[in-house]
């Protein structure tokens, strides 16, 4: 299977080839050992480049890592678009289904093109400064898209905090199957992460999430809202004393 190619920039073939080789080598090393354990020497040896090439093209190891992490994230998004197969005019339910399916594909893919997923797993445990750029350029646009879909499924006037929590709950369900995969496969040894399972998980998470969102529509006075009202009442009582 062809591996997606990292982007290159430069003014000539040699410039681009060296930069490309460094990015590819760095992606493999960072995926295997993480940012902190990776060495510039090993990356350059794999790329067939001079150690000074890191500084020339990326500034330092941190700059190289940031470029690799963000670029791999962009590749994953292009490979599995968030709304693949649906238009912006599709129903919110259809758009949510597409979002969930593509997200599952990104986090469960096992081939080399999903190096980003493994790098992200490390970032969740040992975050680096590169995460700021990744969130800004790759994750935030996806979060905004999910928020738009979720708000379309919630009653008009739903507060921003509730909508945000609903979106995070959906993402949490998806990430569980990636981050807890070693446990799941031991609890259910016959589970296979194939296309059939992808369809099953997509259907389950979508149905579960839509049921929860419908409950918010049916019962606007949610437990969370009740807690907020109780807190407001207590503050009002204290202010009168």
What pLDDT, on a 0 to 100 scale, did the predictor assign at position 153?
Answer: 96
Is the pLDDT at 57 greater than 50, yes or no?
Answer: yes
Inter-helix orientation angle 13-37/40-47, to 10°: 140
When mean pLDDT is compared across 5-19, 112-126, 181-195, the lowest value belongs to 5-19
| Domain spans in the chain, listed from the N-terminal domain onward | 13-69, 76-220
CATH 1.20.120.80 fits 76-220, yes or no: no
Which 3 state secondary structure label does DSSP give 207? Answer: helix
| pLDDT tens-digit series, residues 74-91 | 988 898 998 888 888 899
Measure the CA–CA gap between 171 and 146, rounded to whole angstroms: 9
What's the distance, CA 190 to chain centroid?
A: 27
Q: How far apart are CA 191 and CA 34, in angstroms?
A: 29
DSSP for residue 112: G
Instruction: Assign 7 a pLDDT band (cuts: 50, 70, 90).
Output: very low
| Residue position matching structure tokens 């993402």 | 171
**Which pLDDT tens digit goes with each residue over 15-30?**
678 999 999 999 999 9
* Per CATH, domain 13-69 is 1.10.287.610: no
* Residue range 208-241, pLDDT digits in tens: 999 999 988 776 555 545 545 555 555 555 565 5
The first and second tokens of residue 16, run together, are 């681009």
Distance CA 146, CA 152 (A): 10
The 10 Å CB-count burial string (b at 16+, else e) for 101-140 is bbbbbbbbbeeebbbbbbbbbbbeeeebebbeebeeebee
Backbone angles phi, psi at 185, to 5 degrees: -70, -20
pLDDT higher than threshold 50 for residue 139: yes
Long-range contacts (CB closer than 8 Å, 24 or more residues apart) made by 121-128: 121/178, 121/179, 122/34, 122/35, 123/69, 124/179, 126/34, 126/35, 126/36, 128/35, 128/62, 128/65
């Amino acid at each position: 299977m062809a591996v997606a190619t990292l982007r290159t920039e430069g003014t000539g073939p040699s410039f681009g080839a060296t930069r490309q080789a460094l990015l590819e080598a760095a992606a493999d090393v960072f995926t295997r050992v993480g940012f902190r354990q990776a060495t510039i020497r090993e990356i350059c040896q794999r790329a067939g480049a001079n150690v000074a090439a890191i500084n020339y093209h990326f500034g330092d190891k941190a700059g190289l890592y940031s470029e690799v992490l963000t670029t791999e994230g962009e590749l994953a998004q292009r490979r599995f678009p968030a709304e693949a197969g649906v238009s912006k005019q599709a129903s919110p339910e259809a758009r949510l289904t597409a979002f969930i399916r593509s997200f599952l594909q990104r986090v469960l893919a096992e081939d080399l093109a999903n190096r980003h997923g493994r790098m992200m797993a490390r970032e969740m445990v040992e975050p680096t400064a590169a995460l700021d750029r990744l969130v800004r350029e790759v994750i935030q646009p996806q979060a905004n898209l999910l928020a738009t879909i979720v708000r379309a499924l919630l009653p008009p006037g739903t507060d921003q905090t509730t909508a945000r929590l609903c979106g995070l709950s959906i993402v949490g369900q998806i990430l569980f199957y990636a981050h807890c995969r070693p446990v799941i496969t031991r609890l259910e040894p016959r589970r296979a992460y194939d296309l059939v399972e992808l369809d099953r998980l997509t259907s389950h998470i979508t149905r579960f999430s839509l049921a929860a969102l419908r409950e918010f529509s049916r019962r606007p006075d949610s437990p969370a809202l009740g807690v907020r009202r109780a807190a407001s009442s207590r503050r009002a009582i204290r202010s009168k004393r």
